[in-house]
Amino acid sequence: MRIGIIGAGRIGQVHARSVAENPDTELVVVSDPNVAGAQALADKYGARAVADAADVINADDVDAVIICSPTPFHGEQILASARAGKAALCEKPLAMDSADADAIKDGLKGLDVKVMMGFNRRFDPGFRAAKDAAERGELGTVEQVTIISRDPAAPPKEYIAVSGGIFKDMTIHDFDMARFQLGDIAEVSAIGQNLDPELADTGDFDGVIVTLKTAQGKTATITNSRHCATGYDQRLEVFGNEGSAFVDNVRPNTMRLSKDHFSDSQEPYLDFFLERYAAAYANELAAFVAAVKGEGEFSPSVQDGADALRLAEAAEESARTGKVVAV
């Protein structure tokens, strides 16, 4: 399958690597307004570079598109891909706000929609195994989900200024994971922290605690921080009335060292999202290819993207007002 990538930034580079490593896909073109960046990425994988995303979407030798552009461009590129009959894998978030997300959904009405949202963590082997255990009934009725997600270091301030803030650029993965494990959410309560002096002038939070509640009374708790001295901290617990599933951090290897003056010393956590979620990105692309071939569903869907975005907006409102927000 011939793939075109829109956006040659960090996440575009991640997807380019996944495309190159998948035996069923070939990267043929990369677009970015920064043509030098597009050319550098294209040269690495034997593709061509263009400046305009439309030249990817409308290319005769492109079967499917991966959208890795800044969020404000997602809507127009999703719609253009659909109108051109091209399947699209779009990175999160779907849009900058729910109004734009609704406009995207409206624009897709009447079209043959082949759009998958890039919530790669659904495809992480550990998180998927926890979901599978719950679906097999091994946990009984799931009652609580606990998600811990801390980055090794904050992104550049320039990124934070245009990302929509921590709830839309970071916690949104966890909102989707909570929905993946629990189902639809009815209430959101959030507390924001401003403890990092380096980020004090961004107007954003550097850490958050979020509590989500379903209509049935099930709950999820999300703990986020922009920084973590011990590495990329990614953990999950799914608690049911008959059992619990735990997903721990990933390390370079599983060896534990004990001596006369310490015990169970281990390698630190993987400290970059590409290494931590390498399998997830590969599995995500494989699922997208299968969906394009008619062998699976385009899931997570555009609606999943819209639902996660609504939770991000509700969390922002709750953190600013101190109120519980219904969704």
Q: Find the CATH number of the domain harbouring 147.
A: 3.30.360.10
Residues 90 and 189 in one domain: no
Residues 184 and 71 in one domain: no
Closest CA to 123 of 235, 245, 293, 285: 285
Write out 88-101 in H/E/C secondary structure. Answer: EEEECCCCCCHHHH
pLDDT truncated to tens, each residue of the chain (327 aa)? 999 999 999 899 999 999 999 999 999 999 999 999 999 999 999 999 999 999 999 999 999 999 999 999 999 999 999 999 999 999 999 999 999 999 999 999 999 999 999 999 999 999 999 999 999 999 999 999 999 999 999 988 988 988 899 999 999 999 999 999 999 999 999 999 999 999 999 999 999 999 999 999 999 999 999 999 988 899 999 999 999 999 999 888 888 899 999 898 888 887 767 788 999 999 999 999 999 999 999 999 999 999 999 999 999 999 999 999 999
Q: How far is 137 from 210, CA to CA, in rounded Å? A: 27
* pTM assigned to the model: 0.94
Residues 81 and 147 in one domain: no
Residues 250 and 105 in one domain: no
Residues 275 and 155 in one domain: yes
Q: Which residue has the tokens 């005769």?
A: 60
DSSP single-letter state for residue 135: H
Closest CA to 286 of 6, 25, 66: 25
What does the pLDDT read at residue 262?
86
Q: How many domains does the chain have?
A: 2
Answer yes or no: is 290 within a domain: no
Answer yes or no: is 138 within a domain: yes
Domain of residue 230: give its range: 122-285+304-326
Residues 143-176: b if buried by 16+ CB within 10 A, e if exposed: bebbbbbbbbebeeeeebeebbbbbbbbbbbbbb
Cβ 120 vs Cβ 92: under 8 Å: no
Closest CA to 171 of 199, 191, 156, 144: 191
DSSP single-letter state for residue 200: T
Residues 68 and 130 in one domain: no
Look at residues 80, 113, 146 and tell me which one is the last residue of a structural domain.
113
Answer yes or no: is 179 within a domain: yes
Residues 61 and 135 in one domain: no
**Pairing outcome for strands 219-225 and 244-247:** unpaired
Look at residues 90, 113, 136 and tell me which one is the last residue of a structural domain.
113
